[in-house]
Homo-oligomer: A and B are copies of this chain.
Amino acid sequence: MKKIYTGKTKDVYELENGNYMLQFKDDMTGENGVFDPGANTVGAHIEGIGRENLRVSVKFFEMLNAAGIKTHYVSADIDNATMEVLPAKPFGKGLEVICRYRAVGSFIRRYGAYIEDGAKLPAYVEMTIKDDDRGDPLITKEGLEVLGIMTGEQFDAIVKATKEITAIVAAEVEKAGAEFYDIKFEFGFNGQEVILIDEIASGNMRAYKDGKTLEPMDLTALLLK
């Protein structure tokens, strides 16, 4: 089994059957020990969090597959914190797709002159380029096209899938007694269509309860109850 990528929260291995294996690690993104799903650094190491993130991901991937939404998920081994996935090519050098139900985080940092912190948004979708050195810049549909990162049709397909997936995740978060704020995804291309890749864990989303952001471990506990 060949390791082909070392990430902040996951490593990736190549399998002999042509699929890939994600090894979930016990690290979370953040800064100075404070969790931040938008951060580019590892903020905390917490024993067992890899397995917990995998359990949440499996729960959502299975719900999405049942709803007929294509993802890269094949199977999971919770004890070893690994997930087998189908091959899919990420867009460019990696792209984050964000869906926002509330105006918080980088949205407020950009558009705070036009909207109150925490105000409702109608499942607004935006994409940012993964580029730590350049602060993960926002990119438009037209920008993605001129840079050859994706076609306009792929953009539209991702926006549509993102809204469907987010509706399913948000409903689960609300069912668990928290308020859903925003989430980030990664998509890839399997040669025929765009599919959801990476993970869907508590660290990829923001949810509020009793007036404050839920720590990922607390959200995980609510989601797995």
Question: Knowing A122-B146, A126-B140, A146-B124 touch, does A92 contact B114 (C-beta < 8 A)?
Answer: yes
C-alpha spacing A137/B113, complex, angstroms: 11
Contacts of A225 in B (CB 8 A): none
C-alpha spacing A147/B137, complex, angstroms: 19
Contact stretch, chosen from A31-39, A41-49, A52-60, A104-112: A104-112
* Contact (Cβ within 8 A) A140 B138: yes
Q: Mark A4-20, 1 if CB is under 8 A from B, else 0.
A: 00000000000000000
Partner of A115, one of B93, B122, B134, B147: B147
Contacts of A113 in B (CB 8 A): 93, 129, 131, 133-134
A70 within 8 A of B: no
11 contacts between A and B (CB under 8 A): A92-B114, A93-B113, A109-B134, A110-B137, A114-B148, A114-B149, A115-B147, A126-B142, A138-B140, A140-B140, A140-B141
B-facing residues in A110-163 (Cβ within 8 Å): 110-115, 121-122, 124-126, 129, 131, 133-134, 137-143, 146-149
Q: In the assembled complex, how far is the CB of residue A133 from the closest CB belonging to chain B, in whole angstroms?
A: 8
User: What secondary structure prevails in chain A residues at the interface with B?
Assistant: mixed
* Contact (Cβ within 8 A) B129 A143: no
**Additional pairs, 12, CB under 8 Å, beyond known A112-B134, A122-B146:** A92-B114, A93-B114, A110-B137, A111-B129, A111-B137, A111-B139, A113-B133, A113-B134, A121-B146, A125-B142, A138-B140, A140-B140
Contacts of A131 in B (CB 8 A): 113
* Contact (Cβ within 8 A) B139 A110: yes
Contacts of A141 in B (CB 8 A): 140-141
Q: In the assembled complex, how far is the CB of residue A100 from the closest CB belonging to chain B, in whole angstroms?
A: 9
Top 3 closest pairs, chain A to chain B, by CB: A110-B137, A114-B147, A140-B140
Q: In the assembled complex, how far is the CB of residue A161 from the closest CB belonging to chain B, in whole angstroms?
A: 15
